[in-house]
Amino acid sequence: MMDDRTGVKAAKVCGAFVFTLLLALLLTVQFDFYYDLNDDTMIKDIVSGAYTGEPSGYCIQMLYPLAWCLALFYRAIPSVPWYGLFLCLCQFGVVFLVAARLLFLMRGAKAGIFALAAEAVLVYGLFLRQFVVVQYSVTSGMCMAGAVFLFLTEQGTDKASVFFRRNLLPLFLVVISFLIRTEVCIMLLPFLLFAGILRWCGEERFFTVLNFRKYITLIVTALLCMAAVYSLDLLAYRGSEWTGFRRFFDARTKLYDFYGLPDYEDNRDFYESIGLSRESYTLLENYNFALDESIDTWRLDAIVSYQERLAAEGRGLHDTFGFVSKNSLKEALWQYKKQLSGSVSPASAAVIVLYLLYLILCVAPARGKLRAGAAFKIVCLLVVRSVLWLYLCMVDRVLDRVTMPLLMTEFVMLAGFLICDCAGSYGAGRFRAVKAVSCILGITGILAALVVSWRTVHAEYDGRAAADARWGAMMDYCRKNGDNYYVIDVYSSTSYEGVPYSEKMFTDVDDTYKNFDLCGGWAAKSPLARQKLERHHIRDIQGALCASKAGRQMNTYFVADADSDLGWLAQYYAKRGIEVELRCVDQIRTDAAEAAFSVYELTRR
C-alpha cells in the first residue's frame, strides 16, 4: 500500500501535469503554433522527407542522433508532425518540471496554487511569443534554463549516489539542449557551471572526498554524454561528400554570421586573385550562391582568411588578442551600455525586477558572511551575463533567438537564488517569503502581459497570417505543377513586410515532397541538395534554368517577389557569355487575388 508521503508526491506530480496540460490547451485555443523562421521549416522538411522525398537525419543544424530519431518516427507514421511535437514537448516539459519542483518546495495547497499561478502569468507575460512562435535555438535555451533551475533548487544530500540520481533530470535536459542546438547549449554552460560552483561552495566543507565524488561524477557524466552524441554526429558525417560540405558550411557560417563580406570595389584585387567576379560576388551578397558552382569551400575560406589578415593589420574587422570580430571591445562595451540604458523588453524588465528583489529579500536582511556571500553571488552572476553579452556585441549577433535563451537562463537562476536564499534570510519564514516573491513575480508577469506581450504577440500573429497566405499560395502553386522544378530567390523567401515566412506546426500540415528549393541558404550545395536536383535529372541550377527546350529534362523556373528587380540574374549569365531573357510566364496570387510571386522562364537569346 502506498504511504502518505508517496501519495502526496504523486498528487503534486499529477497537479503539475494537469497545470501544464491546461496551460498548453489554453494556448492552443488562442493560437495556432508557428515555426519562427524558414530555418525551422527546413529542418522539418529534411527530417520529414518533404525536402528530398525521404526522411533524413542529415539536417545539419541538429546533431545527427536526434535528427535520426525524428526521421525514424516520420518513416513509421508520416502523417504525424513529429518535429513540431518534439519542440513543444521539450518546452512544455520544462514548464512541467519547473511546476513540479515549485509544488515540492511549497508547503500547503494555497502556496502551491499561488506558485503555479505565478508561473502561468510569467509564461503568458514574458515568454508568450516563444511558446506560440517556436524556434529551435530558443527551445534549446529553455532546456538549459530548466536544467539550471532544477539543479539550483534540488535538495542537498550527503550520499553521492542519491545526489547523482536527483540530478538526472538536469543532466538529461543539458544533453537534449546539446542535441537540439549545440552552440546555444555551450553559450549557456557558464550559467550551469556557476550554479555548480555555488552548490559546491554551499557545502559544509569544500575539500572532501564525498564532494569531489558528487560533483566531479556529475560533471564527467555530462561531458561523456555530450562527447558520445557529438562523436556519433561526426561518425554520421564522415563520408567524403558530407566532410567537404561541413567545411563549406563552416566557412559560409563564419562569413555570413560573424565576418560579413568585404566590399568588392575596395578589395577588387583580392577578389580577382581568387577568380571571383563582381557578378558572382552579387550572388554572395543576395545569398543566391547556389547558382554558381565556382563559389566553393576554397573561395569562401580564402575570403575568411583575407578578412582575418586584414584584422591583424588593423583594417576591416577587429583583432582582440587573436579573436576576430566585427566590433572592438570598446565598441561592444558602448553597445552593451546602450542596451542597458535603452528601451527594455518585458523579459529584461523582469530580470531587473528579480535583481532588485534579491537585494531586498536576501542581501539586505542578511548579516555578516551571509550578506557578503549573497552580494558576491550577484556580482558573479552579473560578470557571467556581461561577458556573454559583450561577446554577442563583439560578433554583432544580438538577435532575439540568441538573447532570449540568455535572459531565460538568467531569470530562472535569479528565481532559484530567491527560493533558496530566502530560507537563509528568514529561517522559519521561508515559505512565506517564497509566497511573497511568487506574488510579486505574478504581478510583474500580469503587468507585462497586459501592457506589452499579449498585444505584441497578437499583432505579430496577424502579420504571420498575411505572410502565411502568400507562402502557402506559393507552395500550393508548386504542388499543382508537380512536373516542374522551381528555384526560389532567397530574399524573396525570407519575409513579407518584416514578418518571416514560415509554416504552422499542426494546422494544414503537408509534408509531401516539395518540388522547389531556395537558390541559397544553409542547405545549399549539400549532398541533400544534390540529391534533390538528381531527382529531377538536374546537374546544376545554372544550366537547368537556361537550358534550351530540347535539352531540358523538365521545366525549371525562377521564382521571386512580384516586384523584384532581377537585373543581377541577367548580368550573371551575361558575364558567362550567355545572353538570356527573363520572361514572366505566370504570377502566384493569394486568395485575395494579390500578386505575391512571379514565375520567370529564362530563354537564351
**Digit-coded pLDDT (tens) for 176-229:** 999 999 999 999 999 999 999 999 888 878 778 888 899 999 999 999 999 999
Q: Are 587 and 597 in contact, with CB atoms under 8 Å apart?
A: yes
Q: What integer pLDDT is reported at residue 448 of this predicted model?
A: 59
Per-residue three-class SS string for 221-262: HHHHHHHHHHHHHHHHCCCHHHHHHHHHHHHHHHHHHHHCCC
| Domain count of the fold of the chain | 3
Select from 460, 480, 514 the last residue of a domain.
Answer: 460
**Is residue 252 very low, low, confident or very high in pLDDT (cuts 50, 70, 90)?**
very high
Q: What grid cell was written down for 302? A: 580564402
Q: What integer pLDDT is reported at residue 440 of this predicted model?
A: 64
Taking 80 as the threshold, does the pLDDT of residue 48 lie above it?
Answer: yes
Whether 116 maps to a domain, the answer reads yes
Select from 460, 483, 514 the last residue of a domain.
Answer: 460
**Digit-coded pLDDT (tens) for 565-576:** 999 999 999 999
| 226/271 same-domain check | no
Whether 580 maps to a domain, the answer reads yes
Q: What integer pLDDT is reported at residue 373 of this predicted model?
A: 84
Task: Supply the DSSP string of 456-483, one letter for each residue.
Answer: HHHHHHHHHHHHHHHHHHHHHHHHHTTT
User: Which amino acid would we find at residue 214?
Assistant: K
Q: What integer pLDDT is reported at residue 552 of this predicted model?
A: 52
Tell me the C-alpha distance between 246 and 574, whole Å: 31
Q: Are 141 and 347 in contact, with CB atoms under 8 Å apart?
A: no
Range of the domain at 479: 469-604
| 28/155 same-domain check | yes
| 447/524 same-domain check | no
- Nearest alpha-carbon partner for 604 in 584, 583, 580: 580
User: Where do we find the cell 561528400?
Assistant: 241
Taking 60 as the threshold, does the pLDDT of residue 29 lie above it?
Answer: yes
**Is residue 604 very low, low, confident or very high in pLDDT (cuts 50, 70, 90)?**
confident
Whether 521 maps to a domain, the answer reads yes
Which range has the worst mean pLDDT, 11-15, 204-208, 279-283? 204-208
- Nearest alpha-carbon partner for 560 in 530, 529, 523, 588: 588
Tell me the C-alpha distance between 32 and 34, whole Å: 6
Whether 421 maps to a domain, the answer reads yes
Whether 247 maps to a domain, the answer reads no
- Nearest alpha-carbon partner for 388 in 583, 86, 184: 184
Q: What integer pLDDT is reported at residue 346 of this predicted model?
A: 80
Q: What integer pLDDT is reported at residue 121 of this predicted model?
A: 80
| 228/278 same-domain check | no
Q: Are 424 and 366 in contact, with CB atoms under 8 Å apart?
A: yes
Q: What integer pLDDT is reported at residue 1 of this predicted model?
A: 40
| 456/473 same-domain check | no
Select from 302, 325, 348 the last residue of a domain.
Answer: 325
- Paired with 597 in beta bridges are 561, 588
In percent, how much of the chain has pLDDT > 90?
64
Q: What integer pLDDT is reported at residue 432 of this predicted model?
A: 59
Whether 585 maps to a domain, the answer reads yes
Q: Pairing between strand 485-488 and 133-134?
A: unpaired
Tell me the C-alpha distance between 460 and 359, whole Å: 36
| 341/308 same-domain check | no
| 275/391 same-domain check | no
Angle at 148 between CA 142 and CA 154, to 5 degrees: 130
Tell me the C-alpha distance between 351 and 417, whole Å: 12
Q: What integer pLDDT is reported at residue 427 of this predicted model?
A: 47
Tell me the C-alpha distance between 558 and 599, whole Å: 6
Average pLDDT rounded to a whole number, residues 63-86: 96
Taking 80 as the threshold, does the pLDDT of residue 285 lie above it?
Answer: yes
Q: Are 569 and 499 in contact, with CB atoms under 8 Å apart?
A: no
Tell me the C-alpha distance between 575 and 75, whole Å: 45
Q: Are 52 and 535 in contact, with CB atoms under 8 Å apart?
A: yes
Average pLDDT rounded to a whole number, residues 128-134: 92
**Digit-coded pLDDT (tens) for 259-272:** 999 999 999 999 99
| 292/356 same-domain check | no
Q: What integer pLDDT is reported at residue 425 of this predicted model?
A: 47
**Digit-coded pLDDT (tens) for 331-360:** 999 999 888 877 778 888 889 888 988 888
Q: Positive or negative, the Cα torsion across 10, 16, 18, 24?
A: negative
Whether 245 maps to a domain, the answer reads no
Taking 50 as the threshold, does the pLDDT of residue 466 lie above it?
Answer: yes
Q: How many residues does the chain have?
A: 605
Q: What integer pLDDT is reported at residue 135 of this predicted model?
A: 96
Q: What integer pLDDT is reported at residue 428 of this predicted model?
A: 44
Which of the pair, 374 or 206, is modelled with greater confidence? 374
Tell me the C-alpha distance between 423 and 91, whole Å: 29
| 307/450 same-domain check | no
Whether 252 maps to a domain, the answer reads no
Tell me the C-alpha distance between 456 and 466, whole Å: 16
- Paired with 496 in beta bridges are 499
Taking 80 as the threshold, does the pLDDT of residue 2 lie above it?
Answer: no
- Nearest alpha-carbon partner for 603 in 546, 526, 529: 546
Please state, rounded to an integer, the average pLDDT across all residues of the chain: 89
| 111/229 same-domain check | yes
| 495/450 same-domain check | no
Q: Positive or negative, the Cα torsion across 427, 431, 435, 441?
A: positive
**Is residue 315 very low, low, confident or very high in pLDDT (cuts 50, 70, 90)?**
confident
| 60/161 same-domain check | yes
> What is the C-alpha radius of gyration for the chain, rounded to an integer number of angstroms?
27
Q: Are 118 and 441 in contact, with CB atoms under 8 Å apart?
A: yes
Which of the pair, 546 or 550, is modelled with greater confidence? 546
Tell me the C-alpha distance between 241 and 234, whole Å: 13
